[in-house]
Structure 1
Amino acid sequence: MTDPSRRRFLQWSALAVAAGMLRFPLDAAASTAGRVTALPLQDVTLKPSMFLDSLQVNRRYLFELEPDRLLHNFLQQAGLPPKGAVYGGWEGDTIAGHTLGHYLSALSKLYAQTRDVQVRQRIDYIVSELARAQAQDKDGYVGGLTRKTDAGDIEGGKQVFEQIRAGAVTGSKFNINGSWSPLYTVHKLFAGLLDADALAGNTQALPVLLPLATYLAGVFDALDHAQMQSLLATEFGGLNESYIELGARTDNPRWIAIGKRLRHEGIVDPAIAGKDNLPHHHANTQVPKFIGEARQFEVTGDLDSAAGARFFWETVTGHYSYVIGGNADREYFQQPDTIASFLTEQTCEHCNSYNMLKLTRHLYQWTPQARYFDYYERTLLNHTMSAQHPETGMFTYMTPMITGGERGFSDKFDSFWCCVGSGMEAHAQFGDSIYWQDGQSLYVNLYIPSTLDWKQGGLALTLDSGVPLNGQVRLQVTRADDAAPQRLLLRIPAWSEGRFALKVNGRKASSTLQEGYALLERRWKAGDVVELDLATPLRLEHAAGDADTVVVMRGPLALAADLGPVSDPWDAPDPALVGDASPLAGFSALPEPGRFLASTTRPQALEFSPFYAQHDRRSALYFKRMDAAQWVAEAQRREKAIAERAQLKADAVDMIQFGNEASEKAHGLTSDTSFSAAYRRQECRDVRGKGFVEFVMQGSRQPLALRLRFWGSDKGRFNILVNGTLAVEVEVERGQVLDFVDHDYVLPHALTRSGQPLRLRFEPQHGDTAGPLFGGWLVSV
């Protein structure tokens, strides 16, 4: 422990305590790694509940996937004949191979959770095939990623690393030497092998990992500090964590030293100094970096790492997170405390939340405060459970916060997004954070129906729970040896507002409150029953930075208005929550548990139910809170906006709706490196790099301008050509207006005066972007 490191940690901690973020003494013991540890997955068995249902649906999907197809590239690049055809989606791109790592982790977690022999057999087969492929490479390399050469040819991924070794690091945030995030893909394989070793007892996993780790360490050794930092500007997953974990597991300082070198200073150092440097950074690229910092603290005692990880967690959960626990819009952090301005279709990438839960587990181990599991429970219930379809087992990439949004679920064999991988892992391990211990006490953090058989601790119990639909919890001790802990700590969630009742063996029990826990202390014996009844009141929770944008909560659950099936389009304005007093006064419970009818929503009454369960429904989660006078003014504003849109349509010489198939076809649109999408319920299209978009619009003899609609905080540079001649050079700078904005570009009259149809072409300047474009109108000037 260096003095500067300790000083920075204590300085940040003092600020955090003053801000109310932390509650602990400012001494070295305040951040003791492993102060509490989770009980092993092998000791926990899930009982019937939505969590067990989810795990079983996930197991079904895992067994629908064919290991030989996921191994295709690994064998092919080793010069061995593949046994199965390569999958599609991301597995058909240069990021191929990342899914196998996720898959191996998911199987390992599932095996530890269920002790399912078939799962173990599949793990052993995959690792043995990786070993067979690795044996063909004299350097110990094994991998499934590929690269695309400048000529468009596909090569094996090892060439990426050989170029890096030679000092050639070219690319972008998600591309190195023609490969899509190759270090991210490598990390998934590292993590999968580590999980196979630790959770499934596979004795071949480390013998495969060690030569691969040695090969990549040699690549990193060839780089100086500046080259390494340039490399780390591209997404690399949690490779720092994996190297440090490998070092801890093998007691080899070589791997820990490599893990330390994999610190991206441009992101981590500001967090260590207590500075929020997150706006406009890709969110999920950053979260694993801090998981690695957390693990570095636990293994090496580096307090800088602890300070950085803590600051990042506090910042993201306090200033960048949506009510379901997720974060980011279009995969990026926006400005802090602007959640209400980014309620879109492209919010809450699931990988982000999965990794935030990992980070939460680390921080909780150092400082066991119930508030960490308030966040964990919120995210698990409202995001993780919403991201898996309960019937098909498919996963979302984004979970839309926009009113009327539709969750888009993956295809079984032709998606393989990153969030499919994290989804497979997330739904394989629900028992991993229920029970914790510190040598003297048993902590119960999640009220998930389960049994615990803690042989080392001499204690077994059964947990039954109505959470999240009600607050009733029952624990029954089924075995308590002399070694069993006498202290039982039950998390009292913040959502109960401190209202709870405790009984032991049918009698009211008193307890001591400690860091958000009810502490019961006695010599436990078989047959003892503890009953906890937690209040689950309705309440409003506002978006960070905007007290007038609110969500209705009940207990740990975010409630959303049910707007109908996804098969019915939604194009109406957002409903509002109106009431001069408390809008919740208009909520009445319906017979089905968890459902309410609200008479205070406008323009009509709506039914509310848990957001997570509305997989095939359109939802309204966030509401603007208004009094009666504000609603009258809002209704008038909406009518005016409708009239203005109609007037523009009537006045325009011609109009194209970018991203709309019918409109683009009617205008003969052609393009290259261009993508259609929807954002804030508005269809759009953008053009990237050396691509273009070209289309035809009706002309006029009158002087004309082309009106283009952008999102106010977007930027880009592109040229507008009219009939092949450069007409306008466009520069769109990122603005502060978080709304759609229109810009008019006057077209040279010499190019339009004939009144003939105009062939318009957009070309990005110097590899920049054109768009996203949300509409184009030719208007007279």
Structure 2
Amino acid sequence: MRGAAGIALMGVTPRVMAATGSMVPAKAEPFPLAAVRLRPSLYATAVETNRRYLHRLDPDRLLHNFRLYAGLAPRAPIYGGWESDTIAGHTLGHYMSALVLTWQQTGDAEMRRRADYIVTELAEAQAKRGTGYVGALGRKRPDGTIVDGEEIFPEIMAGRIKSGGFDLNGSWSPLYTVHKLFAGLLDIHAGWGNAQALAVAVGLGRYFARVFAALDDARVQEVLGCEYGGLNESFAELHQRTGDPQWLALAERIYDRKILDPLVAQQDQLANLHANTQVPKLIGLARLYEITGRQAPARGARFFWDTVTGHHSYVIGGNADREYFSGPDTIARHITEQTCEHCNSYNMLKLTRHLYGWQPDGALFDFYERTHLNHVMAAQHPGHGGFTYMTPLMTGTAREYSSPKDDAFWCCVGSGMESHAKHGESIFWQGGDALLVNLYIPSEARWERRDATLTLDTTYPMHGTSRLTFTDLGKGGHFPVALRVPGWASGRAIVTVNDRPVTPVLERGYAVVSRRWVQGDVVAITLPLDLRLEATPGDDATVAVVRGPMVMAADLGPSETPWNAPDPAMVGAEPLKAFVEQDTSTARYAARGIFRPADLSFVPFFSQYDRRSAVYFKRFTEAGWKAEEAAFLAEQARVRDIAARSVDVMHLGEMQPERDHGLTSEISYPVSYRGRQGRDARSGGYFEFGMAVRPGPLILQATYWGDERKRDFDILVDNVKIATQHLENNRPGQFFDVEYPLADALTKGKKRVRIRVVPHDRSSAGPVFGMRLFVAKKEPTA
């Protein structure tokens, strides 16, 4: 039963009971961000930290390539990281949006001044080119030089299209970057009516209209095989701003059939798809539904949201491992240091807002609150303002934030600067004559419809009570106030008006009080914040500890101290009885006698900025734990036996071992996954290194991850192929070893051999998480 449906009736006050009929409006819209000001809280701190970060960035450095490629002298040197690669320019689009949001959230006039300045610079660069195009993205030619990325588009128009999913004719996800620029321009236009921003967007739109007009439908699908962000949303929005039907037609043509058709047909085929490539496409479908009223886009968007939140999401609300969706209900097999790319959650929250506006339901904001608190708030460092790319959930893994030197500019730096500019955007909503409160964040808001000022006081989620005061109410009267009751509240929410208990109407995840409100009235809600266990989808034996909306983490010490201990396990029948609250202001608990190998302290996960955490725990009975210990000891004995017979070991992905073994490579990269280092090679590349040998039968052993997507590659010893390895879900949920016996002729009379790993065409090799040469075990004599 939903928590909202089972709210305890705390006293009966007939005069506030609702009339018959629905109390929650059929549709809703958020208060404008500019109408909300945050009061002191961790959210207000995040906005201020982010505001300082935006001030620190230099618009002219972000504009470097826009001017250079247009034939204008740059005004400042380019930034490093991704901004010095072929994806340059995506950060400026995010920055433009973040400037608008920060101006709306705080009123900082410098944000608006910078945004207008950027538009002026873009207009100059666009005029200098004379084609309508303006951009900073680069194109890597075969000789490795990076040039103006615009040169790929005439090739595409001529039908010469080459894409590997993220590379389009030598440019890194170019249409993704174009989408970010469109979004920034349209946000500035919407923010305060900057007509020049719309004019630049229209000119850019005309350029790409010509590009797509030159392609038949099959060629369009080839182009859309490379990540394109939410470009469909941009053209849909351009149609709304101008009324020009060509933009709507183009938005509908930018439709990736391979991905979107199954979602519209209510089919979950997300496994092995790059997650954040897909989410913006669904936001675009949501926008198309809002404009056209056609049901198919809405079906696809809602099914995708239901599928991702119900079957592909971690306890903190984020999704994806190594940026990719796994199979449904397989989260327990993917608890790694590469979980939860922040961009995914940024976009899932945008999609949630669209769905909620169509039909308000508190369950949508149960997900929003969880993700906003536990993932988004974990992704910004409150000190220097850096951002995470991934938010790791593997036990003992430290978070990694972008540097204060501003030399990263990952995609998640861009989405991070937007996320932390707008923490007030979803607190208050309105629909019909109803007021809805969806997030309990300390704030003040101006409700223009009622000529009212609202004040929301709370220390939630540390404490359960939130108080909403009608500080001013110019247009009083009888109307409903809907307070969201999360599903986890389990029927124990308490609602009062002016400190007197009332009986709310319970509907669609809300406690609704409808009465004649006057200035000074206070409606309050108290939610229970008990601890509970949540199992991962598909695996009841892997659990997390949650308090209200807040995911709890075992505190494993500072980030600078390596974590080398075994993963803690939860053993016993009633684990929550072992938790004792130590500090109510910080929600710190001690857990005694329930974890192996030692007792643990628990704190809110998001607050572990510079500390190591454990979030997921395997849960055992006492008997089950004894069996687990026995299996662990047996595996250790096997590993020790192979180590004793080893001739040479290659730790791939680690700098010194790769140097010691003379590694050479092309289109090959070190990787880190589940605490192990490794190396892969992409199509057209390889990696090769030397290993010591000695006389006698030898075995080459390679270690792989058992849930890899389909790939094929060859392994050669001194240029003789000894095996073709196929990886495709070989051993789900675990690393595994493959042994390749070497013929005596390969090593006879040699002290060293060269091992070479080569992917097949349009495939990749590995990752290989280490290789080892060891002496074959002698067969026992009869």
When the two structures are superposed, what TM-score results if normalisation uses the length of structure 1? 0.94
Q: Distance in 2 between matches of 1:562 and 1:253?
A: 56
Residue 776 (str. 1) matches residue 771 (str. 2): yes
Q: Distance in 2 between matches of 1:525 and 1:33?
A: 21
Q: Distance in 2 between matches of 1:33 and 1:673?
A: 55
Q: For 2:743, which of 745, 748, 753 is the aligned residue?
A: 748
Q: For 2:122, which of 122, 126, 130 is the aligned residue?
A: 130
Query: Partner of 1:241 in structure 2?
Result: 233
Query: Partner of 1:658 in structure 2?
Result: 652
CA deviation profile, 1:20-79 (whole Å, cap 9, x unmatched):
9xxxxxxxxx9x998210110111011110001000101111111100000001111111
Residue 429 (str. 1) matches residue 430 (str. 2): no
Q: Distance in 1 between matches of 2:684 and 2:768?
A: 17
Q: For 1:717, which of 704, 712, 718 is the aligned residue?
A: 712
Query: Partner of 2:13 in structure 1?
Result: none
Query: Partner of 1:519 in structure 2?
Result: 512
CA deviation profile, 1:432-482 (whole Å, cap 9, x unmatched):
111111121000000010001122332211001121111110111111122
CA deviation profile, 1:68-110 (whole Å, cap 9, x unmatched):
0000011111111000111111101111000000000011111
Aligned-residue offset at 1:689: 2.7
Q: Which moved more, 1:162-171 or 1:305-314?
A: 162-171
Per the alignment, in what secondary structure is the counterpart of residue 517 of structure 2? coil
Q: For 2:675, which of 681, 693, 701 is the aligned residue?
A: 681
CA contact (8 A) 1:310 1:363 kept: yes
Q: Distance in 1 between matches of 2:661 and 2:353?
A: 54
RMSD: 1.8
Aligned-residue offset at 1:485: 6.4
Report the residue type matching 1:199 in the other structure.
G
Residue 547 (str. 1) matches residue 562 (str. 2): no
Query: Partner of 2:554 in structure 1?
Result: 561
Per the alignment, in what secondary structure is the counterpart of residue 688 of structure 2? strand
Q: Distance in 2 between matches of 1:151 and 1:590?
A: 62
CA contact (8 A) 1:34 1:298 kept: no
Q: Which moved more, 1:603-612 or 1:147-156?
A: 147-156
CA deviation profile, 1:681-736 (whole Å, cap 9, x unmatched):
11211122333322222211102121111111225333333334444443444425
Query: Partner of 2:270 in structure 1?
Result: 278
Q: For 2:412, which of 394, 419, 422 is the aligned residue?
A: 419
Report the residue type matching 1:642 in the other structure.
Q
- Distance change in 2, residues 1:755/1:154 (3 Å): closer
Aligned-residue offset at 1:513: 0.8
Alignment map for 1:19-418 (pairs within 5 Å) = 35-411=27-403, 412-418=405-411
Aligned-residue offset at 1:757: 2.0
- Distance change in 2, residues 1:79/1:34 (3 Å): farther
Per the alignment, in what secondary structure is the counterpart of residue 522 of structure 1? strand
Q: Which moved more, 1:763-772 or 1:369-378?
A: 763-772
Aligned-residue offset at 1:414: 1.3
Per the alignment, in what secondary structure is the counterpart of residue 745 of structure 2? helix
CA deviation profile, 1:377-433 (whole Å, cap 9, x unmatched):
000000000000110110000011111111111124211000000000000001111
Query: Partner of 1:24 in structure 2?
Result: none
CA contact (8 A) 1:495 1:536 kept: no
Query: Partner of 1:491 in structure 2?
Result: 484
Q: Which moved more, 1:692-701 or 1:39-48?
A: 692-701
CA contact (8 A) 1:459 1:484 kept: no
CA contact (8 A) 1:43 1:453 kept: yes
Report the residue type matching 1:164 in the other structure.
I
- Distance change in 2, residues 1:479/1:485 (3 Å): farther
Query: Partner of 1:441 in structure 2?
Result: 434
Q: Distance in 1 between matches of 2:65 and 2:307?
A: 40
Per the alignment, in what secondary structure is the counterpart of residue 652 of structure 2? coil
Per the alignment, in what secondary structure is the counterpart of residue 393 of structure 2? coil
Which blocks of at least 5 consecutive residues in structure 2 are unaligned? 6-21, 777-782
Per the alignment, in what secondary structure is the counterpart of residue 583 of structure 2? coil
CA contact (8 A) 1:112 1:200 kept: no
When the two structures are superposed, what TM-score results if normalisation uses the length of structure 2? 0.94
CA contact (8 A) 1:442 1:485 kept: no
CA contact (8 A) 2:333 2:732 kept: no
Q: Distance in 1 between matches of 2:73 and 2:770?
A: 50
Alignment map for 1:620-631 (pairs within 5 Å) = 620-631=614-625
Report the residue type matching 1:88 in the other structure.
G
Aligned-residue offset at 1:486: 1.7
Aligned-residue offset at 1:484: 6.3
Aligned-residue offset at 1:615: 1.0
Query: Partner of 1:26 in structure 2?
Result: none
Q: Distance in 2 between matches of 1:638 and 1:605?
A: 21
Per the alignment, in what secondary structure is the counterpart of residue 474 of structure 1? strand
Per the alignment, in what secondary structure is the counterpart of residue 612 of structure 1? helix
CA deviation profile, 1:217-243 (whole Å, cap 9, x unmatched):
111111111111111111000010111
CA contact (8 A) 1:111 1:200 kept: no
Report the residue type matching 2:517 in the other structure.
W
CA deviation profile, 1:511-545 (whole Å, cap 9, x unmatched):
11111111111222211112211111110001000
CA deviation profile, 1:262-288 (whole Å, cap 9, x unmatched):
111111111111111111111001001
- Distance change in 2, residues 1:751/1:498 (3 Å): same
Q: Distance in 1 between matches of 2:48 and 2:240?
A: 33
- Distance change in 2, residues 1:312/1:485 (3 Å): farther
Query: Partner of 1:482 in structure 2?
Result: 475
Q: Which moved more, 1:680-689 or 1:391-400?
A: 680-689
Query: Partner of 2:779 in structure 1?
Result: none
Q: Which moved more, 1:118-127 or 1:736-745?
A: 736-745
Q: Distance in 1 between matches of 2:282 and 2:719?
A: 50
Query: Partner of 1:758 in structure 2?
Result: 753
CA contact (8 A) 2:476 2:519 kept: no
Residue 611 (str. 1) matches residue 605 (str. 2): yes
CA deviation profile, 1:609-652 (whole Å, cap 9, x unmatched):
00011011111100011111111111222222222222211111
Q: For 2:454, which of 457, 461, 476 is the aligned residue?
A: 461
- Distance change in 2, residues 1:619/1:90 (3 Å): same
Per the alignment, in what secondary structure is the counterpart of residue 450 of structure 2? coil
CA contact (8 A) 1:68 1:84 kept: yes
Which blocks of at least 5 consecutive residues in structure 1 are unaligned? 1-16, 21-29
Query: Partner of 1:535 in structure 2?
Result: 528
Per the alignment, in what secondary structure is the counterpart of residue 103 of structure 1? helix
Query: Partner of 1:4 in structure 2?
Result: none
Report the residue type matching 1:151 in the other structure.
D
Q: Distance in 1 between matches of 2:212 and 2:38?
A: 43
Q: Which moved more, 1:135-144 or 1:322-331?
A: 135-144
Residue 577 (str. 1) matches residue 570 (str. 2): yes
Query: Partner of 1:637 in structure 2?
Result: 631
Q: Distance in 2 between matches of 1:574 and 1:287?
A: 33
**Higher RCO, Cα 8 Å, sep 6+:** 2
